[in-house]
Structure 1
Amino acid sequence: MITGILFDKDGTLFDFNATWRDWTEGLLLELARGDSLRAGRLATVLGYDLAEGRFSPDSIVIAHTPEEVAAALLPHLPGQTPASLVARMNVIAADAPQVEALPLAPLLTGLRARGLRLGVATNDSEVAAQAHLETAGITAYFDFIAGFDSGHGGKPSPGMLLAFADRFGLDPAQVLMVGDSLHDLIAGRAAGMRTVAVLTGLAGAEELAPLAEAVLPDIGHLPRWLDSQPADRAKV
């Protein structure tokens, strides 16, 4: 049986494009300092189309950590340091308006009522994650919230996931990792967990399906999927 569920944050709990479009354009505006050519170059690095206001499916913003995004931007930003850029990105991220993939409180209430441990494992910073969950009014539903800088590493490494299982004495084979990117699913498999993908990020079903037991339109479909699982099934 499943005893715990770990959620990715962006693209899973929150709609990715609707949430991070404003953050990306705000960051580009600040970093480019009014230089449209520089803004265009930086947007290309991020995998973001300024004219269309959308991300490419392989955008580094989707699943990479702020440190990795900063490293890609730095060659185009003379005078910036990795630490200062990451710090500024995290400040802007904490203020990014979050758009729920669906009403989260009723869903999380139902999952908690099943006796499940719930957690969040994100490649965003822990401070930004805490701010986003607090703004959405859902922090109290989660037993565990970790970012890339929480001391467990970032995805696709399994450190955050194993830390969740270890903290609550859960068998990883009875924990479900739910995410919208290959990073989420690879991390889940590496941790020995079960994996389910959702389509509220930018990756398509054909990309996610090989690493997921199921590909759902959004996490609102989780309760029905859980009900369909044999009660004695512990692993894939």
Structure 2
Amino acid sequence: MKQKIEAVIFDMDGVIIDSEAIWKRAEQEVFSSVGVELSSELCELTQAMTTAAVTRFWYERFPWKEKSLTEVEYSVIERVADLIRDEGTAIDGVERFIRDIKHRGYKIGLATNSPAMLIPVVLEKLGISDYFDAIASAEHEPEGKPNPSVYSSVIKKLGLTPATCVAIEDSLSGLVAARKAGMKTIAIVNGAHASAEFGIADLIVNHYGELDLKTENY
């Protein structure tokens, strides 16, 4: 028997906040300052990594001496936080969607690979902090996505089972993590071309205006 969905768990970057350009700018500024030569090809490999993993990735290729890995990682996070406060904008339609599902009784969670300190920065910037019932960062997990642990942590905090939760993601690694956690999945592509890899999602939508949980057609 199909179980009723009781909670929606959101990824953060690219799902709640339009932050891809912000991350790229912060990483370019900070890593370049310690001698890293960033290339678009290598940057593509780091997109789904945690900040700690990205920092290790660049250090292994362009080892620096002036600062520790932790100092450089924190510099990136601080720069991202500053840019979000100054320039951060919500993904189109997400605020209305969150308000709607909260009003209709769904629990709301957040599971992100981003550092924990950025979660309140994003939610406060967008004015949606009060809507979330549980949050988790992969910073506090053994591994980031595609490992499912960050999703499992949020599900546990919500007091629910995976079968009653649906994840909204914009990346393959996030979709894999959610599926491994036992959840239904929705891929939101935000107007971009939907990669064939997104076929693992139970539902693919272009934007939040296409998404209506009343039908639960996934």
Same fold (TM over 0.5): yes
Paired residues of 1:65 and 1:148 also in contact (CA < 8 A): yes
**Residue pairs, 1:140-219, within 5 angstroms:** 140-151=130-141, 153-200=143-190, 204-209=194-199, 211-219=200-208
Paired residues of 1:12 and 1:219 also in contact (CA < 8 A): no
* CA positional deviation for 1:201: 8.5
SS of the residue aligned with 1:125?
coil
Match of 2:64 in 1: 78
Q: Pick closer, same or farther for the CA change 1:28–1:228 going to 2, 3 Å.
A: same
* CA positional deviation for 1:45: 6.1
Match of 1:104 in 2: 94
Q: Pick closer, same or farther for the CA change 1:203–1:191 going to 2, 3 Å.
A: farther
* CA positional deviation for 1:109: 1.1
Instruction: Return the alpha-carbon distance in structure 1 between the equivalents of residues 184 and 123 of structure 2.
Output: 24
Percent of aligned positions that are identical: 26
1:221 aligns with one of 203, 210, 214: 210
- Per-residue Cα deviation, 1:109-165 (whole angstroms, up to 9, x for no partner): 110112111011111001112211111111111111211213464211111211222
SS of the residue aligned with 2:83?
coil
Could you list the structure 1 runs, at least 4 aligned residues long, displaced by more than 6 angstroms after superposition.
none
Paired residues of 2:191 and 2:207 also in contact (CA < 8 A): no
* CA positional deviation for 1:26: 3.8
* CA positional deviation for 1:30: 3.8
- Per-residue Cα deviation, 1:83-131 (whole angstroms, up to 9, x for no partner): 1121111111212332211143322111011211101111100111221
1:14 aligns with one of 14, 17, 25: 17
Unmatched 5+ residue regions in structure 1? Answer: 48-57, 231-235
Instruction: Return the alpha-carbon distance in structure 1 between the equivalents of residues 123 and 10 of structure 2.
Output: 12
Unmatched 5+ residue regions in structure 2? Answer: none
- Per-residue Cα deviation, 1:59-97 (whole angstroms, up to 9, x for no partner): 412x21001110111131411422112111111121233
* CA positional deviation for 1:3: 0.4
- Worse-matched range after superposition: 65-74 or 193-202: 193-202
**Residue pairs, 1:52-71, within 5 angstroms:** 58-61=44-47, 63-71=48-56
Q: Which residue type is aligned with residue 171 of structure 2? A: S
Normalized against structure 2, the TM-score is what? 0.86
Normalized against structure 1, the TM-score is what? 0.80
Q: Pick closer, same or farther for the CA change 1:145–1:90 going to 2, 3 Å.
A: same
* CA positional deviation for 1:202: 6.5
